[in-house]
Structure 1
Amino acid sequence: MRLKTYLCFNFLQKMDKKTEEFYDRLEAELDRSNDWPALYLFKFIVPSVADNVERVGLAFDCMGAVIKTTKSKTGKFTSISVDVTMKSAQEIIEKYQEVSTIEGIVSL
Structure 2
Amino acid sequence: MNIIEGSSTNNPEEFYASLKEKLEATHDFPEDYLFKFIVANDPAKLTEIYRVFDDVKFTLNNRESKNGKYTSLSISAFVLDADQVIKIYQEVGKIEEVMML
Q: Same fold by TM-score, threshold 0.5 exceeded?
A: yes
Indicate the percent of aligned positions where both proteins have the same amino acid: 35
Map residues 35-54 of structure 1 onto 2, 5 A cutoff. 35-54=28-47
Q: Deviations over 1:59-90 (max 9, x none)?
A: 11242200111111111111001001111101
CA distance in 2, matches of 1:103, 1:75: 19
Q: TM-score, normalised by structure 2?
A: 0.84
Q: Deviations over 1:41-63 (max 9, x none)?
A: 00000111251111111111242
Calculate the aligned-residue CA RMSD, in Å. 1.6
Residue of structure 1 in register with 2:54 after alignment: 61
Contact map agreement 1:68 1:81 (CA 8 A) in 2? yes
CA distance in 1, matches of 2:71, 2:58: 18
CA distance in 2, matches of 1:52, 1:103: 8
Q: Deviations over 1:19-56 (max 9, x none)?
A: 22221111001111122211100000011125111111
* Alignment equivalent of 2:84, drawn from 91, 95, 98: 91
The runs of 5 or more residues in structure 1 that have no matched partner are 1-15
The runs of 5 or more residues in structure 2 that have no matched partner are 1-8
Contact map agreement 1:44 1:79 (CA 8 A) in 2? yes
Residue of structure 1 in register with 2:17 after alignment: 24
Amino acid in the other structure paired with 1:20: E
SS at match of 2:72: strand
Greater Cα radius of gyration, structure 1 or 2: 1
Larger relative contact order (CA 8 Å, sep ≥ 6): 2
Q: TM-score, normalised by structure 1?
A: 0.79
Runs of 4+ with deviation above 6 angstroms: none
Aligned residue-pair number? 93
